[in-house]
Amino acid sequence: MVMSLLIIFFTDTVIKKKITFIRSRHSNKNDNCHVEQKNYSIVRREIGYARYEGEKELKLLNEFYKRLRLVRNFFTPCRKLIAKKVINGKTRRIYDKPKTPYLRVLESSLVPEKAKENLRQQRAKLNPMALRREMVKIKDKLNKLASKRKKHQAELYAINTGIANVRVFA
């Protein structure tokens, strides 16, 4: 009941304000490749390209991402683009010194002091090596589950097609 009322309210608001839904930014049909580039730089490098399905794997992935978030935000420095200069037809990019997102938040005047103190307390409890070890254990469990599924799928394929002695390279 409540959901249907929300849907009615939402659609009425969209119609009244003449909001149109589009798949990407205007004149940028190829936005998806930029999203995939970001997936590679963080997710694919850490997790890999295996296909994960099921509740067990979802729980493991969520546990992995909790730790990955902490490692990336508290311990992994990144550069921030300050300016771009075009010199003789070549673009020269100027970056600031590499800092972790955690340090950038602490330096910001826009973040309240209470939030900064909470972050400092959280950072004091973290051990980057312990987080990495936990991530490796989770990744091993994920790989075992994925390889079991691969073997099972190959066996089903062999049964369905009548092929004997199917070998799986996992």
At 152-166, the pLDDT tens digits run: 666 665 666 665 555
In a domain, 77, yes or no: yes
In a domain, 161, yes or no: no
Give me the domain span that covers residue 126: 54-142
In a domain, 59, yes or no: yes
Cβ within 8 Å of residue 73, ≥6 positions away? 100, 101, 102
Q: How many domains does the chain have?
A: 1
Lowest mean pLDDT, pick from 48-52, 140-144, 148-152: 148-152
Q: What's the alpha-carbon Rg for the chain, to the nearest Å?
A: 24
Question: pLDDT tens for residues 105-144?
Answer: 999 999 999 999 999 999 999 999 999 999 999 999 998 8
Quickly tell me which residue has 């420095």 as its tokens.
77
Question: pLDDT tens for residues 56-74?
Answer: 999 999 999 999 999 999 9
In a domain, 137, yes or no: yes
Is the Cβ–Cβ distance between 74 and 100 less than 8 Å? yes
In a domain, 10, yes or no: no
In a domain, 20, yes or no: no
Distance, in Å, from the CA atom of 44 to the CA atom of 32, rounded to the nearest integer, reads 15
In a domain, 113, yes or no: yes
pTM: 0.66
In a domain, 37, yes or no: no
Query: How crowded is residue 138: how many other Cβ atoms within 10 Å of its Cβ?
Result: 21
pLDDT value of residue 49: 80
